[in-house]
Amino acid sequence: MNKLTSIIRYSLLACFLSTVHAIAAQPGGQSVANAPQQSADVSQQRELFKKAEYAARRGRIAEYNQLLAQLENYPLKPYLELERLQQIGYLANEDRVVSFLEQYKGTPLDWQLRQPWLDYLAKQGEYQRFIRDFRHPGTLTHQCYLIEAERARGLQDGPFIRKVDAIWRHGFSVPSACDGILNEWADLGARTKDKVWQRLVLAAEDGNPTLIPYLTSLLPNKEQYLGDLYYKVRYSPAAIGQLSRFRGVDAAKEAQIATFALTKLIWRAEELALKAYERLVSRLPFTAAQRHRIAEEFAVALSLKEHPEARVWHQKVPPSELDERVLQWRLAAYLRDHDFAALKMTIQTLPPAISGGNQWQYWLARAMEETGDKLNANKIYSELAKERHYYGFLAAARIGAPVSLEKDPVKATQTQITTLLERDDVKRAYEFLQLGRDVDARREWNHLLSDIDGEAFKTAAVIASDWGWHDQAIWTLAQIGHFDAVEIRFPMAYSEIINLSSEKYGIDPAWAMAITRRESSFRADAYSGAGARGLMQILPGTAKLLRNDDSFKRLNTPEVNVALGTYYLSRLKERFDGNHVLATAAYNAGYYKVKDWLPSEPTALDEWVEMIPYYETRDYVKAVLSYQQIYELLNGKEVNLFDAFATMRVKDD
């Protein structure tokens, strides 16, 4: 049913998305030369394909066969065969099913037939056939079916127990298909109390806590209080304040529970967490790793809350345990205190692999500049200014140096392009794009990427870019870390729509382009987990507030989405008195959140950005500002937008 619904939905969207691809295919858009070789009647074949697919789904076999005969060399013909085999894939047609699975093994066609075929074999008890046709990793359900099949075919106790151990080690409920092997595994005595505890910890800390009562019941009676305590602190970390809950039966496990609870409590009630730690540290045998975990979480949480003990806890984190999150908030703590001397000393003591990064080099230079060592500061700025990066642009602004675009275009020969275009998965991806079935196209493209090497990735990116498939071109280059192909990674996609709408609402088109690049990578059908949609990722609720019409229903339409996004940006900028950096942060986190983050005293803009509490928003602002600068340069404007940031201050009014 899900597949049928999906196919119908994408069929309805075909006409619209074909228009989207036509719009995207501006200069640098779809190139006929870089499309797969096609027959003159390819448009007719696409229509015949849709009719054949519909006939297959409706069981009109004579009509289906007649249409199929006219699609002999059409790239998507295997999907018609898939449709029929999904409907008749029983033992009577075993040869056809097995042949299809072998022919398309590893492709997106494979699993769409293999999954229902394996389900059928498992339900029929066809264990030998199931083992023959299973392919790793499969779903958890199929993994359990496989173990059941292997057990029925004579799998010995030892290997059986080891395989079921892997199924047991999940912090979530496992499928009912696993019940049989889990019961047999338990009957063999393999469900030890250590394995029960291991799963209980997974459920409590990273999984489904509703499993905890069941797992607690499997522990020895005298240890069941530990499961009860884990369950309690999972929902109410403050419960660790009652020392009577720690009975001392297993102090090591109690320390494990307390560590988890403290790292949660510090975010909810910092004073209570600090007091609880002082009472528990002499009572429980915390390991060094547990103490470090607590110190890290306390340091970050207290820094974010601007607590006076934040720096004390930062000092408790040993250098060997420093990670990006802890270092970010150590930086924020120094900036909040304007303690550039301590910041300088800290950076200089970091391992070279960390201190040599762009962020830390920039702040080392800033700390040197603030403490009077301007000569060495400028040396670092000069090197950083050569980088096409947020900190490189900031460094260039500090010394008045020109900004660097640092381009390294991707090159592909016609032979390399032709070689990829002749692949079946590329042909299928292209056809799905023309039909407006982007999800199916991406599946085929991902198969291509799984089957080529690094050099071919560059050619694939060139092809995707020429098709106007910008999000996949960007993604493809990201897989091999090729970030200097600026024209492909920062295309002028939808430029006419964005320029017109930006002009209408009085904002910089490069800013709107940068927001779009960050939000969706120019994917018109983008959809986030939070429900944001389209090029500029507009929430339906936001659309309703911005415009009193049915725009919220048409957020995948580029013109509608960009009009709403640019209008929203203009309103945010106006509300922040023309400060587009604050407006950028608000576009991601919301106006009132950003208002809450504004300092009471004037603060340098680069310092304020580092102190944004949400890491997602902090990274978002840095990326959008960098992208905006890149688009200005690509548009031929030799300006450094970051010049204003060197002197700009932000403050809550």
What is the DSSP code (8-state) at residue 538?
A: B
Q: Please work out, in degrees rounded to the nearest 5, the angle formed at the alpha carbon of residue 439 by the alpha carbons of 483 and 493.
A: 45
Q: Which one, of 243, 322, 240, lies nearest residue 283 by Cα?
A: 243
Sequence-ordered alpha helix ranges (H) in 310-453: 310-315, 324-337, 340-348, 352-355, 358-370, 374-384, 390-399, 414-421, 424-434, 438-449
Contact 410, 461 (CB under 8 A): yes
The Cα-based distances of 143 to 174, 330, 397 in angstroms read: 11, 45, 57
Please report how many Cα atoms fall inside a 13 Å half-sphere around the Cα of residue 618, on the Cβ side. 16
List 538's β-bridge partners, or say none: 533
Cβ contacts of 640 within 8 Å, gap of 6 or more: 393, 396, 397, 402, 403, 629
Contacts of 520 (CB under 8 A, 6+ apart): 471, 526, 534, 535, 536, 537
CA 18/CA 20 separation, integer angstroms: 5
The SS3 of residue 527 is strand
Q: Is the peptide bond before 27 cis (omega within 30 degrees of 0)?
A: no
CB within 8 Å of 511: residues ≥ 6 apart: 502, 569, 580, 584, 624, 628
Token pair for residue 452? 């080529």
Rounded to whole angstroms, how far apart are CA atoms 98 and 282? 65
**Looking at 287-386, which runs of residues are DSSP E strands?**
none
Largest CA distance in the chain: 86
How many Å apart are CA 363 and CA 385, to the nearest integer? 14
Distance CA 314, CA 585 (A): 27
Q: Which of 431, 519, 607, 610 is catalytic?
A: 519
Whether 406 sits among the annotated catalytic residues: the reply is no
Query: Which helix or strand (DSSP H or E) is residue 650 part of?
Result: strand 649-650
450 phi/psi in degrees, rounded to 5: -75, -10
Query: Which DSSP helix (H) or strand (E) runs through 610?
Result: helix 605-610
Alpha-carbon dihedral 52, 53, 57, 60, rounded to 10 degrees = 0
Of 71, 19, 68, 64, the C-alpha closest to 41 is: 71
Contact 147, 163 (CB under 8 A): yes
Are 238 and 264 in contact by the 8 Å Cβ rule? The answer is no
User: Residue 159: CB partners within 8 Å, gap ≥ 6?
Assistant: none
Which residues form the catalytic set?
519
